[in-house]
Amino acid sequence: MQFLRFLMGAACLIVAGTSGAQTYPTRPVKMVVPSTPGGSADVVARALAQKLTEAWPHPVVVENRPGGGDIIGVDYAAKSPNDGYTLLLATNSVLVNTPHLVKMPFDVLKDLTPISQVVTVPFTLVVHPSVPVQSVTELVAYAKANPDKLNYGSSGNGTHQHLLGELIKRSADIKMLHIPYKGSAATVTDLLSGRVQVYAGVAGQLNPHIKAGKLRALAIAGAARRADSSEVPTIAETLPSFGTKLGDPWLGLFGPAGMPAAIVARVNADTVRGLNVPEVKAALSPRGFDVATGTPEALGATLRDDFANWGRIIRDAGIKAD
């Protein structure tokens, strides 16, 4: 009899969980973006929020909570109720890089529920035309013949641009001088003038300058060649130790730790369905984003792997926060 009551109770819990996912959401859902309106994460968040609003009986409202290098917004979302009514769209930078540079008020690996990776941001390795190289092989040879005479720029210490430069240096066993800036716009300005000679940055930002002949593309940082520039090889084709997982940054959708599995599955399914339509991909591609959705398990694995791998690079290179 006790066993029968146990089975009936378990069945009720399963039905309740399924019913909750079927009726979710019963009120508006908040999507926290830990950066300012108009930025990269904000653009992606509003595209996703629109598709979820179309799929659900209640709207998804984007709420920008910038500050503290994106830490404030992530902290707010991580400490919100885990009922599925507060979601977080965050970059890998604040989740993977920043925890190794500053003390965080939350535990990235314990205080968030992965839902789906959303987009990747393709990066391209470029040089100023004054650098007499046409490929990664020639860049490595030139850098070895001229140690520390090449400057590579970044958007600041510990940024993705900085870490890619360090990974290239380590993979090729070369020496280049790191020049940190406050943001990519200032970096590209000095790159175009030749004050900085090497840079790995957002493809969408660099492509117009590449097409105009003001910069020379050597390689892409991602795992595979891109359809719109198939003649440009990946960095890993020349430097196998560079790897194929750490090349491009990403944005992911999360909730607070302990979100009900049925609601996670519902949000994941509607995110994947909503973003993988031609009009959304066509709208995001010119802004420099590739739709790259997946399972909660895949996002969790990516977060853990990147956290460990980028953390190792930060420690080995002795990188400190600005």
Pick the closest to residue 34 from 83, 80, 103, 101 (CA basis): 80
Q: Please state, in angstroms and rounded to a whole number, the distance separating the CA atoms of residues 154 and 185.
A: 10
pLDDT value at residue 183: 87
0.95 cut: is pTM over it? no
Query: What fold does the segment set 29-120+249-317 form as a domain?
Result: D-Maltodextrin-Binding Protein; domain 2 (3.40.190)
Mean pLDDT rounded to a whole number for the chain: 91
211-to-185, 214, 285 alpha-carbon distances in Å: 18, 8, 17
Say whether pLDDT at 5 is over 60.
no
**CATH 3.40.190.10 occupies which residues in the chain?**
123-242
What 8-state DSSP symbol labels residue 233?
A: P
Say whether pLDDT at 189 is over 50.
yes
Query: What fold does the segment set 123-242 form as a domain?
Result: D-Maltodextrin-Binding Protein; domain 2 (3.40.190)
pLDDT value at residue 236: 92
> Counting every residue, how long is the chain?
322
**Percentage of residues in the chain having pLDDT higher than 70:** 93
What distance separates the 2 farthest-apart alpha carbons in the chain? 83
278-to-119, 142, 283 alpha-carbon distances in Å: 14, 43, 9
pLDDT value at residue 245: 66
**CATH 3.40.190.150 occupies which residues in the chain?**
29-120+249-317
